[in-house]
Amino acid sequence: MSFDTLATALGAAVAALRGAPRAARACAQADERELLDLTRLAAEARRLLEATSAALAGEIASRSHRDLGAEGLAQRSGFRTPEELVRVVAGSSGRDAAAVVAIGRLVRAAESATSGTDEQSRAARPAVDDEREPWLRPVGEAVAAGRLSLASAEAIRSGLGRPGPSVSLGELERAAARLCAEAVALDPDRVARRARELRADLDRESVAANERARREARSLRMFRTADGMTRLVWTMDPETAAVAGDVYDRATSPRRGGPRFVDPARSSEAERILADPRTTEQLASDVFLELLRQGAEADPSRLLGTGGAVVRVLVDERSLRERTGRAHIEGQAEPVSIETAERMTCCGGIVPIVFDDEGQALNVGREQRLFTARQRIALAARDGGCRWPGCDRPPSWSEAHHVRHWVRDGGRTDIADGVLLCRHHHLLLHNNHWEIERRRGEYWLVPPPDVDARRQPIAMPSTSGALRDLLRSRAG
């Protein structure tokens, strides 16, 4: 298509659509089938316009290539980057401009691969070619053909990531082509989730690293606004979101149209929530505030968490037995490492659901797995807090860990098989493959080979004053 033809086509499209947004009366006259047909036609028109916008942005980026320096289009127009130029010309956000330029480069690369190589074709493309992500060539082709929206294209691009030591360019290109085919029936959010799943399948070694990166990105920030209110912004990793989400759902589900409880006591509770004059948002705020108050005032001799959120960890039996692969927290899209699955099964309120090779659930979690409130009190009295050597975290900051893992080792939920570890050391133990041994009432920490090749056990003394007094009185 020549420049004149493209300009004429876009002008005609704009003229034809100028009155379309005000065509509410025509939409009201359409029957259901016609209404859906119009919606599909509008979506196709949007994709074609997005493809055109991407092609134009790709050309702007090419003419603004860094090798051109001050002679590039963006700098000659007074902008530092092609993204800034597109943002101002198109009136879009910085994020949208960055996405359309990135996808535009893919579209331009795809068009270059299919265009002629004669002198006239080369003269028509005087700018610098810049194929930065060749494994995404199927994405550029799908956008150029109007089959893939910009949002879905960006979801594939960000979800698949870049080649690495264990993921080749060819593997990513095949994954991109597969996603382009699947995206026809998916919205951009599901495309993004699917892209991350495929990346995890290709790069199983990165699951733990990605999980660690998400955990490191967690944050809780508080802002005071000009009207005297305060805003809390909580960015959660999947594990945190699973706990907070379960509490939120339990506090608000009757209000949000959730299930009605058959049990009379629970039914009356649901009716009370429905009749509460507070909005759902106000109710959730008050519930979380009360949880914070109760937690802050808890007796430090008891462990927090009894009656807490119920979180399910889904994992297949072979992965758990061989300590390979990955697991999933129910309701969370991102996979977690086997080490995290092992650690979470130690915690109260975490229910492991193990599947066999045929996808059949081997168990749905036994309540006996969880340490009871009385057992936790006994553990607190015996251990005095986290038993990791040198740690001074109190029992209220600690979690009950099975010395012999509940699923992997067939461990039992008794006091002798449990020790208290703070969250930091609980994470460290599972993720870095430390072990704990019990010998006649004493506990020993066994380091992994990369820490100590001899794996010399390290004593884990109790810091409990009550236990020391008891042993002293017996000795006396």
> In the prediction, which pLDDT does 467 show?
54
**Digit-coded pLDDT (tens) for 387-435:** 998 887 777 778 888 887 655 665 666 677 788 888 888 888 888 889 9
- Whether 439 has a pLDDT exceeding 80, the answer reads yes
Residues paired with 458 in a beta bridge: 445
Q: What is the mean pLDDT of residues 319-324?
A: 76
To the nearest 10 degrees (0 to 180), the angle between helices 238-252 and 280-296 is 120
**Digit-coded pLDDT (tens) for 254-312:** 655 544 444 555 566 667 666 777 788 888 888 888 788 677 665 554 433 344 455 66
- Alpha-carbon distance 41 to 416, whole Å? 67
Q: How many helices (H) and strands (E) does the chain have?
A: 20, 11
Domain ranges of the chain: 3-203, 230-296, 311-475
- Phi first, then psi: what are they for 225, rounded to 5°? -95, 165
**Digit-coded pLDDT (tens) for 94-142:** 888 998 999 999 888 887 766 554 445 444 555 555 567 889 999 999 9
**Digit-coded pLDDT (tens) for 146-175:** 889 999 999 999 999 888 888 899 999 999
Residues paired with 316 in a beta bridge: 355
Q: Which residue has the higher pLDDT, 318 or 476?
A: 318
* Cα–Cα distances in angstroms (integers) from residue 43 to residues 245, 284, 467, in the given order: 34, 37, 70
Residues paired with 221 in a beta bridge: 233
Contact 366, 406 (CB under 8 A): no
48: which 2 tokens? 């074609």
Residues 6+ apart with CB under 8 A from 417: 402, 403, 404, 411, 438
> In the prediction, which pLDDT does 463 show?
78
**Sole residue written with tokens 């008794």:** 414
- In three-state secondary structure terms, 230 is strand
pTM over 0.95: no
